[in-house]
Structure 1
Amino acid sequence: MKINLTKMMMLLTMFLSIMTALSTSSMLMIWTMMEINLMSFLPIMTKSKSMKDQPMKYFIVQSLASSIMLMSMLMNSMTETPLGSSIMLMSSLLMKMGLLPFHMWVPMIMKPMTWENCFILMTMQKIVPTIIMSQMVGLKLMLMPMCLTMVMAPIMAIKQMSMKTIMAYSSISNSPWMIMSLMNSKSQFVTFFSIYTVINMMIIKKMKIMNFMFLNQVKTQSNPNKMSIIVNILSMSGMPPMIGFFPKWMILQSTMNFSLVIAMSMVTSSILSTFIYMKMISPILMITSMSKKTTMKKKWTENDLVVNTTGTILCLMMKSF
């Protein structure tokens, strides 16, 4: 087995920069770590042959957002106004995370990327901006962009056929859930982010193995693969009793105590997301295959069903908290 030392070094640098940003209280240090994180991710993007000008597009968007963020920090230090009321800081973080109205770069950049890079972009790259946004920006300022993101991202994904584009819009609509979970409590954020990462990892692993790029390819898959896709997709949409439902339920319960508008946007977003995912799996459920039925000789080696159905056990465990 070949080990790509460059990739390993860059991933290690990314991980260390995130850990440093989490453990410091200086805004300038956090900004520096975000830049190191960006510079570590660019070589990983350029490793894939399908990427032409995408790394440069990603670099331009992220460096512009970083420049606006640094400018907002300097302006606020000069005028001695709180950072929580800075629209410039919020705009830079919205651009970094790919939330509305600065969201169009996410599906555009993710479409030609490899599945592994898509996974990094949807999970690791969101941690530091999420923490800054939840701790530094006021809720009143974030209310409109977050509600718009949760409602509009699934609507824009309805007509998409590319799996990577659908996953990009899914990532955009899940970002406000991350921010709200961290505003509620750190344990909620860790729970939601861990489960979201595991579900994404299982879906992306399955997509890569099957070379599954478009929605119409789902009909050609074998029955175990179809079952795995159904379970993972339902879990991503937050359907009970799958594991993806319970962190969203916890966040919704906590959010209802201080903002009904965001809670209603969360419910609407989940309904629209479920509609998209059901459209994805409806060919599997509705259309029966005309090919000759054969008995399955190989045993089930998939852990997706086991992981996702642990949601019922989580429900029982939550009674004790």
Structure 2
Amino acid sequence: MFNNLTNFMLFIVLMLGSVISISSNSWLGAWMGLEINLLSFIPLMTNLKYSTSTESALKYFIVQALASTTLLFVVLVLTFNQTFLPQYNLCLNTILNSALLMKMGAAPFHSWFPEVMEGLTWWMSFILMTWQKIAPMILVSYCFLYKFMIIVIILSILIGSIGGFNQTNLRTLMAYSSINHLGWMLSSLIISMSYWLTYFVFYTILSLSIIYTFNYLNIYYFSQIFSMMNNNPIMKFSLFCNFLSLGGLPPFTGFLPKWITIQALSEMNLFIIITMVTMTLVTLFFYIRLTYAAFMIHSLQPLWNKSEMNKMTTNMMLLNFFSLFGLMLIFFISLFI
């Protein structure tokens, strides 16, 4: 994942920036942590082997700088002026929420996210999809505006579902999937921080399973999946079970955090639950379409030797055990509680 010691140190600084933001007792300290995180992630994004990584790093920097500037402006205004009328405070809090949502790539501030993901390596994409969302999302929980967030949640799930149609680039598909899951994570944040943490951990592990496979086999487009899986049906089955689990299809593990969120939100807002479940069915549609095509289309051209495929199969089964058998394990655990 890291080519040298410098990249490893940059990753440590990136994690430190997020920790500073989360643990800060002032908005100015949180802004400083976000800037440390940004300035350490930009060099990690740039990879000389990928000509598109520089363009993605530049786009990411411009968007994050705009969000940071907006955040700093609102923080300074709220710090030095404490006599605003309630409607002005509401406006400033909305702008503050918007800046943080832009940083994490939630709709309607999402347009940069698929374009940046399209030019990154798989591991940098994984960091962008998971770790880079932690600090902004926790900061959003400090100034949560319920009605505004309901709109953001619906838009994120809607755009994340519809945007995945007719995508041939797997990184773009994963970006729209991340936007969809971001809506679910924000909805779990309405309930409590523990619900959000549960959903985030499940999402991270499922994403890791899929991205590990794509990175190992150097797969970036659908056409490569169709020809890659012919010599190893076990790997094919494992990978696409992970896709269905990421989409939240029972009885896979990915359904569990959605189930918990639905059960908790059903007592608060039934309308948003109906919208979220309906849009998730759209996401499952293009996952199942991809799965069906990969199982039906056959190519006679092998792309990897047998020893590499057998090694990959062993690692995949170990990594994907959580995804494939999680609900069965939870069932047996519940018998003893």
What TM-score results when the alignment is normalised by the length of structure 2?
A: 0.87
Equivalents in 1 of 2:3, 2:214: separation in Å? 23
Any unmatched runs of 5+ in structure 1? none
Is 2:135 aligned against 1:128?
Answer: yes
2:295 match: 285
Classify 1:262/1:319 alpha carbon distance in 2 versus 1 (closer, same or farther; 3 Å). farther
Matched to 2:166, the amino acid is K
Is 2:212 aligned against 1:197?
Answer: no
Q: Give the 3-state SS of the residue equivalent to 1:100 in structure 2.
A: coil
Matched to 1:71, the amino acid is F
Q: Give the 3-state SS of the residue equivalent to 2:260 in structure 1.
A: helix
1:311 match: 327
Q: Which residues of 2 match residues 166-315 of structure 1 at below 5 A?
A: 166-220=173-227, 221=229, 222-287=232-297, 298=310, 300-301=313-314, 302-308=317-323, 309-315=325-331
Q: Give the 3-state SS of the residue equivalent to 2:159 in structure 1.
A: helix
Once the two structures are TM-superposed, the CA of residue 129 in structure 1 deviates from its matched residue by: 0.9
Equivalents in 1 of 2:278, 2:332: separation in Å? 26
1:62 match: 64
Q: Which residues of 2 match residues 21-32 of structure 1 at below 5 A?
A: 21-32=21-32
2:171 match: 164
Is the Cα–Cα contact under 8 Å of residues 65 and 93 in structure 1 kept in the other structure? yes
Once the two structures are TM-superposed, the CA of residue 112 in structure 1 deviates from its matched residue by: 1.3
Once the two structures are TM-superposed, the CA of residue 305 in structure 1 deviates from its matched residue by: 4.2
Equivalenced residue count is 318
Equivalents in 2 of 1:320, 1:192: separation in Å? 23
Classify 1:2/1:252 alpha carbon distance in 2 versus 1 (closer, same or farther; 3 Å). closer
Equivalents in 2 of 1:319, 1:80: separation in Å? 57
Q: Give the 3-state SS of the residue equivalent to 1:177 in structure 2.
A: helix
Is the Cα–Cα contact under 8 Å of residues 14 and 40 in structure 1 kept in the other structure? yes
Is the Cα–Cα contact under 8 Å of residues 153 and 186 in structure 2 kept in the other structure? no
Classify 1:291/1:94 alpha carbon distance in 2 versus 1 (closer, same or farther; 3 Å). closer
Classify 1:218/1:73 alpha carbon distance in 2 versus 1 (closer, same or farther; 3 Å). same
Equivalents in 2 of 1:314, 1:61: separation in Å? 41
Is the Cα–Cα contact under 8 Å of residues 97 and 126 in structure 1 kept in the other structure? yes
Equivalents in 1 of 2:38, 2:73: separation in Å? 18
Q: Give the 3-state SS of the residue equivalent to 1:303 in structure 2.
A: helix
Percent of residue pairs bearing the same amino acid type: 35
Once the two structures are TM-superposed, the CA of residue 319 in structure 1 deviates from its matched residue by: 7.0
1:107 match: 114
Is the Cα–Cα contact under 8 Å of residues 84 and 136 in structure 1 kept in the other structure? no
Classify 1:291/1:39 alpha carbon distance in 2 versus 1 (closer, same or farther; 3 Å). closer
Is the Cα–Cα contact under 8 Å of residues 159 and 179 in structure 2 kept in the other structure? no
Classify 1:48/1:3 alpha carbon distance in 2 versus 1 (closer, same or farther; 3 Å). closer
Once the two structures are TM-superposed, the CA of residue 315 in structure 1 deviates from its matched residue by: 4.0
Q: CA RMSD in A?
A: 2.4
Match of 1:76 among 47, 57, 78: 78
Q: Which residues of 2 match residues 6-25 of structure 1 at below 5 A?
A: 6-25=6-25
Matched to 1:22, the amino acid is I
Equivalents in 2 of 1:163, 1:291: separation in Å? 21
Equivalents in 2 of 1:69, 1:27: separation in Å? 9
Is the Cα–Cα contact under 8 Å of residues 118 and 171 in structure 2 kept in the other structure? yes
Once the two structures are TM-superposed, the CA of residue 87 in structure 1 deviates from its matched residue by: 2.0
Classify 1:318/1:74 alpha carbon distance in 2 versus 1 (closer, same or farther; 3 Å). farther
Is the Cα–Cα contact under 8 Å of residues 84 and 137 in structure 1 kept in the other structure? no
Is 2:42 aligned against 1:42?
Answer: yes
Classify 1:2/1:60 alpha carbon distance in 2 versus 1 (closer, same or farther; 3 Å). closer
Classify 1:224/1:84 alpha carbon distance in 2 versus 1 (closer, same or farther; 3 Å). farther
Equivalents in 2 of 1:261, 1:320: separation in Å? 35
Matched to 1:257, the amino acid is E
Equivalents in 2 of 1:316, 1:157: separation in Å? 35
Any unmatched runs of 5+ in structure 2? none
